[in-house]
């Protein structure tokens, strides 16, 4: 069940507080509040034992350690039962040799999915769900990414997104297109004439690289 359901009645936006919940998972009962102090990538998938979802789960499992190094936990969700989750994870390990070490939560009543706007309030199935939310250590949604059910997510891009969010916040700078670890960051646009001085070739007052 969710806490403060009122928070999830409308469409969630970046910088909204993530709706709280308590749910059964493959790692026991979990609550959103138990992730405070760490980043969280909460992702939903249409159904267990499906091809695209399996490819995503394998990719998430292989990237699990990389997310952990960023102080970011992974948490999956679908409306399938806990027993279905357990059977699916066991089959993935048996068939593909990949052990999924992060939990999947069950949402059979679609309560959490609806609180997060993953489903229309009148929906009776999870066919349209392939949503991802990046939640910061204070429980604030920092990014929302949606994919259609017939196209799998890029786990590498989500990993890059988390690191870019963290780095931008820590450095007080902006991450340009395709930014990855080690690349130059951008300064916020100049707010005064003085800030726009001392430009290098290829720069403008609204596009300045952060100098080391």
Residues designated as active site: 53
In whole angstroms, give the CA distance from residue 207 to residue 187.
Answer: 7
CA angle (187 as vertex; 182, 188 as ends), nearest 5: 140
β-strand pairing of 131-135 with 141-146: antiparallel
Q: What share of the chain is helix, strand, coil (3-state, %, to 5)?
A: 30, 20, 45
Give the C-alpha separation, 137 to 130, whole Å.
23
């Amino acid at each position: 069940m969710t806490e403060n359901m009122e928070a999830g009645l409308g469409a969630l936006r970046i910088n909204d507080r993530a709706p709280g919940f308590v749910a059964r998972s493959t790692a026991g009962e979990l609550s959103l509040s138990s992730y405070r102090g760490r980043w969280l990538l909460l992702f939903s998938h249409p159904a267990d034992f499906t091809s695209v979802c399996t490819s995503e789960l394998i990719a998430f499992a292989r990237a699990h350690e990389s997310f952990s190094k960023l102080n970011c936990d992974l948490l999956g969700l679908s409306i399938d039962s806990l027993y279905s989750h357990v059977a699916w994870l066991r089959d993935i390990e048996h068939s593909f040799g990949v052990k999924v070490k992060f939990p999947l939560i069950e949402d059979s009543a679609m309560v959490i999915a609806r609180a997060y706007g993953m489903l229309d309030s009148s929906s009776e199935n999870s066919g349209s769900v392939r949503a991802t939310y990046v939640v910061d250590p204070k429980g604030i949604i920092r990014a929302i990414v949606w994919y259609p059910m017939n196209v799998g997510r890029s786990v590498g891009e989500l990993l890059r997104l988390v690191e870019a969010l963290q780095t931008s916040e820590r450095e007080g700078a902006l991450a340009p297109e395709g930014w990855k670890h080690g690349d130059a960051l951008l300064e916020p646009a100049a707010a005064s004439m003085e800030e726009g001085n001392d430009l290098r070739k290829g720069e403008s007052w609204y596009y300045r690289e952060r100098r080391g």
